[in-house]
Structure 1
Amino acid sequence: MGKLQKFFQKFKYRLIIFLAVLGPGIITAVADNDAGGVATYTVAASFFGMASQYMVIPITILLATTQEVGARIAIVTNRGLGSLIRERYGVKISLFVFIFYFIANQGVVLQNVSGLKSALQLFNLPWQLFLILICFALIFIVIKFNYKRLQRIFLFMILFYIAYIISAILTKPNWGEAIQESFIFPKKINVADFTYWFNFLSWMMAIAVTYTLFANHIKVADGYSAALSMTPIAGHLATVLFSVGLFSASILGLTIVPLATAYVFSEMFGFEGSLDADFKKGRLFYMFFIVQIVVALIITLFPQTSLFGLTLYADFLNAALLPIIFYFLISFSESTEIMGKYASHGLASWFLRLSAIVITIAVVVTFAGKIFHLG
């Protein structure tokens, strides 16, 4: 009986630790499916159908690898990547990486403000007014609420992603065919289309688009067009649910991405800043968060601005940043001085290096395809 009680106590302790990190882990994973992601998934599916999902398994493996390494570094060192870059490589390198990172993330913030605009238009609301109100409400909530309260809000918002699953079911797909087609390489894909990254939620979005738009030979340029085009095929409810998912994705991305930039800035340059700090103590932290949203809002309010072109360049910048991030991940994770007994070695080390090579090749091929119009 004593052994059984000890086992359950140990299990309870591990479960508490697991649940403590589960929330941030879910938020981090789901936030990848922001407005820019929704646009990418829907456009790809309208052109290639379920064949657009052929990369889901290898991309998921790469994503799991990088997130595990990043999390291990953070847990062992109790510091973020930005802090380690500044300590090991100096302020100049940190500044270069941060400028690159800031510009790329500013583009992602713009994608999410644009996605929010599209969602408001789909709901037939005066988008200019509501867009301004929502952006400033987000700023107010982030400044006033602490980390724990914000985490609960984020977890609640993730529930709205279920709308994509219901939307996919409403299209009455052939599930066997959908699964089979997801493993078939598309015959007419261009090298530039390797930028389409997917996971389960993107798979459900792809199903919704494939069995409505792709099946009827309708090609779209963004999530807004996709949602509108679904109405005559799958009904108004499918469009509403898709719009709800886009709204939730935009809000989550619009909060998480600028916060990530603010955290990196604070770490890299040694400023105090976190969601648990008040505005006076974390002034620069919050200012970086506010500036990114306000800049994206101003650009979006000008209708003549080509948001599609701007967000496309943001995707390219993010891709170009990946090999740099991998370099630092490999450098820090393999350092016994930094990681001690938790340093990457053997098979884990080689797999991380292989992942870096695959990512770098994908980035080079994508850029070459875009520059030289290969396909």
Structure 2
Amino acid sequence: MPEASMLGTCLCTCLVIAVVSSSMAEPADSQTPGRTTVPETKRRGISGFVHLLGPGLITGASDDDPSGIGTYSQVGSQFGYGLLWLALFTFPLMSAVQELCARIALQTGVGLGASLRRKFPRWLVGIAILGLLAANTFNVGADLGAVAAAGSLLSRGALHALWLVVPVALLIIGMQVFATYATIFKIFKWLTLALFAYVVTAFFAHPPLLE
């Protein structure tokens, strides 16, 4: 199922960050204050491992965005398990993209745009950035619409989906402007627990075991 691929991608990203970080660990006397190192993580045990997986966990979970959930629901209602075989191809592709992004960021210490600017002409980087901007704009619009539709469902139709688009957008903008990175990080990290809703839903949906 798509959510299974997403969870696998999330786990892959977490492991890549842990492994690559271990191979690139800095000397003890040059650590950045407040940064959790791999040796420190090993000393702290399970709690340290969970703390280290924070960025990778959020990155993997963010792939399961509202527009994606809406797509899963529509495709599932129309085709059932008929497209499940595609997971054999989409999972390796998703894992490769997540791993590639994680390794580039860990190796260079900069974002993807800055990495491209170091290797390619500015005009080519500009085209790539414009394409990314267009894709993200459509994706954000779809996410806002999906969140608004979910809110309308929770209100049993009392609130129209269009009425919720602007409040949701203002809430997200307000968090980015007024909240600190640490606060947003903690909120998103705990929100990843919502992924367990897939497991709970599987028991209530009673899917055919042979499928």
| TM-score with structure 2 setting the length | 0.70
1:94-173 pair list within 5 angstroms: 94-124=125-155, 125-127=158-160, 128-173=162-207
Structure 2 CA distance, aligned partners of 1:9 and 1:96? 42
Structure 1 range deviating more: 154-163 or 139-148: 154-163
Runs of 4+ in 1 over 4 A off after TM superposition: 13-18
- AA aligned to 1:135 is A
Alpha-carbon displacement from aligned partner over 1:253-305 (angstroms, at most 9, x marks no partner): xxxxxxxxxxxxxxxxxxxxxxxxxxxxxxxxxxxxxxxxxxxxxxxxxxxxx
- AA aligned to 1:86 is R
Structure 1 range deviating more: 72-81 or 36-45: 36-45
Structure 1 CA distance, aligned partners of 2:76 and 2:113? 36
Q: Calculate percent identity across the aligned residue pairs.
A: 24
Alpha-carbon displacement from aligned partner over 1:130-174 (angstroms, at most 9, x marks no partner): 432232122111112222211111122222233333223212223
Alpha-carbon displacement from aligned partner over 1:214-236 (angstroms, at most 9, x marks no partner): xxxxxxxxxxxxxxxxxxxxxxx
Question: Counterpart of 1:39?
Answer: 70
Residue 39 (structure 1) shift? 2.4
**SS at 1:33 equivalent:** coil
Give unpaired runs (5+ residues) of structure 1: 1-7, 179-375
Residue 120 (structure 1) shift? 1.8
1:64 is the counterpart of 2:78:
no
Residue 40 (structure 1) shift? 2.2
Alpha-carbon displacement from aligned partner over 1:299-323 (angstroms, at most 9, x marks no partner): xxxxxxxxxxxxxxxxxxxxxxxxx
- AA aligned to 1:79 is V
1:11 is the counterpart of 2:45:
no
Structure 2 CA distance, aligned partners of 1:140 and 1:92? 33
Question: Counterpart of 2:121?
Answer: 90
Alpha-carbon displacement from aligned partner over 1:3-60 (angstroms, at most 9, x marks no partner): xxxxx98832787775444111111111111122112222222232222211223322
Structure 1 CA distance, aligned partners of 2:203 and 2:88? 22
Structure 2 CA distance, aligned partners of 1:18 and 1:96? 39
1:215-230 pair list within 5 angstroms: none
**SS at 2:81 equivalent:** helix
Structure 1 CA distance, aligned partners of 2:113 and 2:127? 12
User: Relative CO higher for 1 or 2, CA cutoff 8 Å, sep ≥ 6?
Assistant: 1
Structure 1 CA distance, aligned partners of 2:44 and 2:110? 24
**SS at 2:120 equivalent:** helix
Structure 1 CA distance, aligned partners of 2:76 and 2:54? 30
